[in-house]
Structure 1
């Protein structure tokens, strides 16, 4: 008997799940019919690449698409774009869908339902927020809208509200397009995924790049001109001219559809799933990607961390289970990297504020080093910060800020976190060395050694 699966969301998690389900089922002699619906115009794309499209580093949108709708259809998935899922009836096993640009309406029956509906940019409820030229950047459609606006309006001044990953990456993109860029952030320092001492380093680097950085500044309103396009922001410290505004204040799980269907949500608003990605309390509803909450192995708690790395892995796990296999998603440790111009930024695990909130006793150590041996041409400065639990020395988290070849060192510390290693373990790990690549003691090992010394 053919089993019908309806997938809501045709990006990383949804299409990874659909493709893996077909592969797994084929190996077990099962037959699946998969229908995937999405309100957008593209499938399986890299939203992380949008700032680099805006900056001109990559052509888009085609360069950012891993697999087109036509390719998915050729593989046996019925992909329906420009289609929004309006409601889910769990008792009847149906999804009501409608066309975005036409009068199409349909009730899709399902045996299994996959929710991969992603996240949406936070838009503050402020006067003037509906002015033209104010953009959130989450989907390829959002990126296309920004590109079109910049091409038509040719703005000279830009304001980025929020100094997280997307805010900094879009600030760089707009600087490189020749605009005067102001970044407005409520917190004392940018990049609140870092501790403030490393966040300060990011702020000073941004200022050195010619970006006007205004921290501890809240936005009160947006003002539009007579043509309805944004002209300025009103902040607590005065007005800021803006021909275009990018919102970089984070995203929230797109979980309204799940909530309306009576499915359980976590404290962060994401859908609650088990380690097989089945929605808790159900037998035939699954969810993955930016709409779910994920188990943090360091905190021992569920958190909402919307990243493409998680979405793709979760989609593969979910699809394996849908196809008749058995797979689990083991959780995350909170690893991420970013850059603004020539400054690389990386983090994994807990910040000091997280460790404090968890009631942990710890030591924190920050060291300065270089990306190569100091005498070797091209050596660049970097800062590494490490947190270790007291008294045993278990690594709790790490942060890195530096120039070229700094950020990917975080992966060593992420792997150590994953395996619950101590800082002394990290200090004595057999890492590679040659002057073109690192000092004889790699900076992550120097930081770990200093933390171990402080513990004793």
Structure 2
């Protein structure tokens, strides 16, 4: 290979995975790898921010996987505090806001996601915080240390519920305000109701079906309440947990084609479909659902790392393709563990499947064993073929990671009957003799047979 230049825009999961994988494959070659990161940190865990806010993780630096200095030891030039302003696709250059122009032979756009912010008056008030950057976590921690006592969390997805949990654990009175009828919109309603009840039982106030109309402020512009059509909820701290959209302004202005989800359209090697000399990966790209093949935008670090690794492999000279997503995700609120994968009932129906859904209740350990907790497992399958399409798990400690074996079964295309016959482990401290996921599969396959 001749001398060339690999330029990466964005220094978190996708960007740094790509840079590191390329260097591993190319070794100490004459390939120059440069990463532009607008913030002060690279390779940090945004998913860990709630746990830092909650003092579960006490040291901010524990959230940083590797520093620019460590990447420099791999001959990867990381330039923090450097924002890319424009891409010239014809010239093969990127211009930064401080006036630099950098050429490239391979370009990766890994600009990540942007927190969704509805057009609500007062959303930029002092005391309103996102949960996206490490600086956001520092600001929320500072607000709690300064005496914040009442918090309103907007949104009931993973980040919203995690933030409600940690703020409640730190002694704040917490209200979760939802535009939807239930938290965790990617769960079916019956499973979402279990989550909602458990949160309420913890002492967190949940207010559903209430889109926010205004963030009310005092004379100094500091947040004092969140107003909906149903009322006003006093607070001195507002946390935004409304989800993530793709950050594509740089790509759009350059002329890279966007897909129907609004994210950058790429093929399975993570090349732009309109400009194959450019790669894109992470929360800024449109991917596809493994079951339906339909376009999807799923902002998860697991996918970003895998996509970055695909880019790094291709640039490094090794064939690689991204295999799609099931949307497998997991979280915990207090002792309640929540997992989901594949299609929920409404998604499966929209995809044209003849849907069967079965829910069973069981325990996480042998019923007689100390610490056995309740668990509910829901399986979604195709009525005609018996193919597993989706799964949801809600229960006490030991429940959540069971979603992984279900995701594996769905990924492999197993039917409910095939999965019911699989050989899973058993010991009283870990599971009943018939694990709940297999019981659910057996119920689904029995229903299928007649």
TM-score (norm 2): 0.98
Alignment of 1:30-429 (within 5 A): 30-98=29-97, 104-151=98-145, 153-429=146-422
Query: Over residues 346-368 of structure 1, what are the superposed CA-to-partner deviations in whole Å (9 max), with x where a residue is unaligned?
Result: 00000011011112101100110
Indicate conservation of the 8 Å contact 1:117/1:254, yes or no.
Answer: yes
| 3-state secondary structure, aligned to 2:16 | helix
CA distance in 2, matches of 1:141, 1:119: 16
Report the 3-state secondary structure (helix = DSSP H, G, I; strand = E; otherwise coil) of the residue aligned with 2:83. Answer: strand
* In structure 1, distance between residues paired with 2:204 and 2:373: 22
Contact 1:172–1:340 under 8 Å retained in 2: yes
Instruction: Supply the distance in 2 between the matched residues of 1:325 and 1:288 (Cα, whole angstroms).
Output: 17
2: distance between equivalents of 1:37 and 1:389? Answer: 46
- SS, match of residue 425 in structure 2: coil
Partners of 1:368 and 1:201 in 2: CA distance: 12
Over the residues paired in the alignment, what is the CA RMSD in angstroms?
Answer: 1.1
1:5 match = 6
338-347 or 262-271: bigger deviation: 262-271
How far the C-alpha of 1:40 sits from its partner, in A, is 0.9
Aligned residue for 2:401, secondary structure, equals helix
Q: Deviations over 1:63-119 (max 9, x none)?
A: 001100111112111111111111111001111112xxxxx3211111111111100
The separation in 2 between residues aligned to 1:348 and 1:130, in whole angstroms, is 34
Answer yes or no: is the 8 Å Cα contact 1:40–1:141 preserved in 2. no
Distance, in Å, in 1 between the alignment partners of 2:136 and 2:278 is 29
- The alpha carbon displacement at 1:30 in A equals 4.5
Match of 1:101 in 2: none
Q: Deviations over 1:373-420 (max 9, x none)?
A: 111111100000001101110001000000000010011110001110
| Gapped regions of structure 2 (runs ≥ 5) | none
Segments of 4+ in structure 1 off by > 3 A? none
Unaligned stretches of 5+ residues in structure 1: 99-103
Q: For residues 58 and 262 of structure 2, what CA distance do their matches in structure 1 show?
A: 35
CA-CA distance at 1:150 after TM superposition: 2.8
1:246-289 residue CA offsets vs partner (Å, 9 max, x unmatched) = 11111100011111111111111111111111111323200111
Whether 2:424 is the aligned partner of 1:437: answer no
